[in-house]
Chains A and B, each alone.
Chain A
Amino acid sequence: MDASFDFVYQSPIEKVWSALTNSTKLAKWIMANDFKPVVGHKFQFRTQPTEWWNGIIDCEVLEVDEPHKLSYTWVSGSESTTVTWTLKSVHGTTHLHLEQTGFSGKTQAFEGAKFGWVRMGDQLEKVLAEL
């Protein structure tokens, strides 16, 4: 499972890094949280609970490389993923790359699974269409 995005912001890299690592700022665009940019720090994102979900995402900071890379685990209900932010300064703008992957630490197994999933995607279309 992987979702990846690339965004370009007209702001300098330090501003974007701050928005990703300052708890008050994070709350404005992701969710209320007790994040700290410290490796090993366990924190939560919290939002309104629903019928099927308590609205809590459990996280642990994995990597902090200011201002270029930040990653943490993201565990919500039964899904356990890793979120990685990569920042690059390009002529005063910031290129932000986000990757959310289905494993934390099991890179080899995941690469296999990712390939399998992509390859199977088109072949299983007729099966999935019947669901």
Chain B
Amino acid sequence: MRLNEKSQVRDVYDAVADPTRRQLLRLLADAEELPLHKLTDRFPMGRTAISKHLTILKEAGLVTDRKVGRETVYRLDASPLKEIEDWVSYYRRFWREKLVLLGHLLQEEDK
């Protein structure tokens, strides 16, 4: 497993458990960077609510931001999700091997 350089203070699962936050991630996935107002425009709730969601995503390491002039611009960072994907792949291989071994053990017992 790669060492995560950023300190993640919030669980990635909690971060993606909210539908608004998932939509924010989708929007950011389709663009290199988006300013706050462009993100806010896409939702019924106001700027404060969207900023709160973006803060949660930042805390989970899924989003980074920077200032461009007076605006804050957001960018997706998929590496926390890649880590999860790595774990899932690892366990898929692990259990596949183990279940085959179980099959051998059961066959031996049946003799």
Contacts and interface: CB of A to CB of B under 8 A. Distances in A.
Given A1-B84, A10-B110, A102-B13, A112 B95 contact: no
A98 interface: yes
B105 A124 contact: no
Given A119-B22, A120-B22, A29 B16 contact: no
Interface residues of B, number: 38
A131 B80 CA distance: 11
The 9 closest A-B pairs by CB, nearest first: A112-B17, A116-B16, A29-B101, A116-B22, A113-B13, A11-B106, A109-B17, A3-B91, A29-B102
B98 interface: yes
Interface residues of A, number: 38
Interface in B76-111: 76, 78-79, 81-82, 84-85, 87-88, 91-92, 95-96, 98-99, 101-107, 109-110
Given A1-B84, A1-B87, A131 B17 contact: no
A116 B30 CA distance: 16
B95 A5 contact: yes
Contacts of A15: 106, 109-110
A79 B22 contact: no
A109 B13 contact: yes
A79 B91 CA distance: 11
Given A9-B106, A11-B110, A79-B87, A127 B101 contact: no
B78 A131 contact: yes
A110 interface: yes
A96 interface: yes
30 contacts: A1-B88, A3-B88, A3-B91, A7-B102, A9-B102, A11-B107, A11-B110, A15-B110, A16-B102, A19-B102, A19-B106, A29-B102, A77-B1, A79-B87, A98-B95, A102-B13, A110-B17, A113-B14, A117-B84, A119-B22, A120-B29, A124-B78, A127-B29, A127-B76, A127-B78, A128-B78, A128-B81, A128-B82, A128-B85, A131-B82
